Amino acid sequence: MPAKPEQDSAAVLPSDPETGIRLLFEKYHATIYNLCLRILDQEQDAEDITQDVFVRAFKAYHQFRAESSPGTWLYRIAVNLCLNRQRRLKYVRWLSLDVFADAFDTPPFESPDPGPDAQTEQNETGHIVRRALHALPDRQRTVLIMTRYDGLSYREIARILACSKASVESLLHRAKLNLAKHLKPYLDEL
């Protein structure tokens, strides 16, 4: 079961940075990796960002204050890095560097090709939802992923994104409306 940032709000980190980061890595790296993977939809990028999260946490280890949990802190670093990566990617596309852009392009909706077993069906279903998620604006997608897949509260997401709880609610509302629109072409085919 992946760790959630609120679970260790009272945690005290060891004074040795490497030991502390090692502990945080063991507890959170799978959660952070999956969060990055869902936001970026690219394995290599998710690996790079996950590593970067812990390297940055190490560099800023002594500046961490226990006002929030270490998990929230790591989430915040991860989300910021992912959103920055997405922003850079948009610049690449804007500059029409098609060689790079093609590698990241999301293909249009594909009709599902149901396989013989339930696992295949689940993979197809996951694929459809993932594609639809990836068509959302970055912040909407991030909020939706954090509530839906990581089970974070609005308050926690507001802390991670450094915005108000009302903004999170509004983002989430728009995200769900948009997601329904992006799922519609697939559902209409059924």
Partner 1 sequence: MTHRNIQNRLLLYLDDELPDRERADIACHLAQCSPCRSYLAELKRLWETEPAHRTPPSYLWKNVQTVIRGHAPGRTRPTGVGRLFPLLRPALMTAALIVGIAIGTYIGNLPETVASSENPVVSAEAGEILNASYLENFQDIPPESVDGIYLTGAVDE
Strands annotated E in the chain: none
Q: Whose Cβ is closer to partner 1: residue 90's or residue 173's? A: 173
Residue 96 lies near partner 1 (rule: CB under 8 A): no
Contact status: 109 vs partner 1 (CB under 8 A):
no
* Residue 93 CB, nearest approach to partner 1 (Å): 25
CA 184 to chain CA mean position, Å: 23
Name the one residue in this structure whose structure tokens are 């939809």.
41
**Measured between alpha carbons, how far is 52 from 68 in angstroms, rounded to an integer?**
20
Taking the least distance from each CB to partner 1, the nearer of 101 and 112 is 112
33, 73, 75, 154: which one binds partner 1 (CB under 8 A): 33
Query: How far is it, in rounded angstroms, from Cα 143 to Cα 165?
Result: 11
What span, in angstroms and rounded, lies between the C-alpha atoms of 10 and 66? 8
What tokens does 5 get? 């940032």
Q: Which residues bind partner 1 (CB under 8 A)?
A: 2, 17-18, 21-22, 25, 29-30, 33-34, 37-38, 47, 50-51, 54-55, 58-63, 122-123, 125-126, 128-129, 149, 173, 176-177, 179-181, 183-184, 186-187, 190
